[in-house]
Structure 1
Amino acid sequence: MLRSQFEEDLTKIHDKFEKMGEDVNEAIRKSIRAFIDHDKSLAKEVIADDERINAKEQDLEKKCFEMIALQQPVTLDLRKIVTIMKASSDLERMGDHAVSIAKSTIRVKGNKRVLEIENEISEMATHVMAMVSEVLIAYVNTDSQHAIEIALSDKLTNKYFKSIYSHSIKAMQENPETVIVGADYLQVAGYLERIGDYVTNICEWIVYLTTGKIEELDLKNFEEN
């Protein structure tokens, strides 16, 4: 009886985590669209919706603590709960960065734009959102190999960041009118780069779930091997 109750509770928090991940990815998508289209009302929607994401993370944490206290899980069962707690915290931080991108949109006031850089930001966001979608799939399937591949794909996120950084600096040097918007481009690319880092954190928790070992999926280590 207790075991079946535990399995039922675990399924519920798995589902809640997956739904939270979908909400976070939607927040990232909306925040980037708002930034590119200068859509301040959409940006405000992202900021307002963040309360819901935060509440979901708090609810998940509460449910996980309750399960630990009442069921006293060990080994793999405990790892499953710890993984959800840690990964939901990473999702919540991704949502915070989506809010930061939305706030950048509200700050931009008709400054001169550089469409080539905005296209790059859009491409970078598409890649990051794909990483978020894939990590949710890897989590649901407890697929550590898939998680390692997703962590490796963060190399492309870093490459986009470096490219946007150099193009933004060049644009600001060549045309002083782009200084304000260029600074926003740098910030938004930085937020996306950090979201990629949080996806990598979740990949590490998926590996922990299957192996019981906490390992840093450091790109340098992969490059050396």
Structure 2
Amino acid sequence: MEMNFNQHISGQFNADLEAIRSHMMSMGGLVERQVANAIEAICNGDTRIADDVIRREDDVDKMEVAIDRECTQILVRRQPAASDLRMVLAVSRVVRDLERMGDEASKIAIHTLEVSDAKNPQLCQQAMRYMGTEVVKMIAGALDAFARHDVDGAIEVVRNDKLVDKQYASALRELITYMMEDPRSIGQAISILWILRAIERIGDHARNISEQVIYLVSGADVRHSSLTEIEEQAHKEAKE
């Protein structure tokens, strides 16, 4: 009887862990759509899509609160150890980054409405489209790496974040040049600046999720580490 009871407790614990992982992935899917829609809205000047992104921000917030509550309950009731504890902590950290991605998507949508009648709708369009496409891929890659415990996939997302950062720096130079040449465009340029900054921040959060994949798999905390350090640490832990 005692063995059956223990098996039941263990089975329920595994179900709880699978539930938070599944709910986190569902939240990730919603956030990925939010970001993709926000990018589509700014690149195509679609205010209808922008409005929808803003409305759905509350859904992301509610999911974060619900999953965070589930993680807290597991920590209190189950007191997990080792890899199970890492799973709970990683999920808790990931949903925080996902929520912040949702905030950034909403910011992009809000600024899309502000520049919908802009004088120069092509300003930094190429940079926004490139960066936007890349960060959506990064979100998908980070979530896929988490689902598959794929350290190499996680490292690839970190590597792509560097490319987004370079494009962001290039776009800033373009904006500064444009504002100097036409001071009347400063208002529009500032809105574009905030959009580019939001896209760049989404890339940072995707990188954060990938760092949690490495923590989940190997136990190595690679936050605030360089790409080279992350690669070395991840592979070192994998060998051990």
1:156-203 C-alpha deviation (Å, 9 max, x unpaired): 110110111111111222223432222122111111111111111111
For residue 120 of structure 1, the aligned residue among 127, 131, 139 is 127
Give the corresponding residue for 2:95: 88
What do the CA deviations read for 1:85-113 (whole angstroms, capped 9, x no partner)?
01110000010000111110122251212
Write the distance in 2 (CA, Å) between the matches of 1:89 and 1:216.
Answer: 15
Aligned equivalent of 2:181, options 174, 180, 198: 174
Q: Unaligned stretches of 5+ in structure 2?
A: 1-7, 233-240
Per-residue deviation at 1:117? 1.5
Equivalent in the alignment of 2:144: 137
CA contact (8 A) 1:28 1:129 kept: yes
Q: Could you tell me the TM-score, scaled by structure 2's length?
A: 0.87
Q: Distance in 2 between matches of 1:67 and 1:92?
A: 21
Matched-pair contact (CA < 8 Å) for 2:127–2:168:
no
2:54 is the alignment partner of 1:32? no
Q: 1:128·1:195 contact (CA, 8 Å) conserved in 2?
A: yes
| Contiguous gaps of at least 5 residues in structure 1 | none
- Tell me by how many angstroms 1:216 deviates: 2.6
8 Å Cα contact 1:155/1:219 also seen in 2 = no
Partner of 1:3: 10
RMSD: 1.9
Moved more, 69-78 or 80-89: 69-78
Hey, which bits of structure 1, 4+ residues long, moved more than 6 A?
Answer: none
Identical pairs, percent: 29
Question: Which structure has the greater CA radius of gyration?
Answer: 2
Q: How does 1:1-225 map to 2 (within 5 A)?
A: 1-108=8-115, 110-115=117-122, 117-216=124-223, 218-219=225-226, 221=228
> How many pairs align?
225
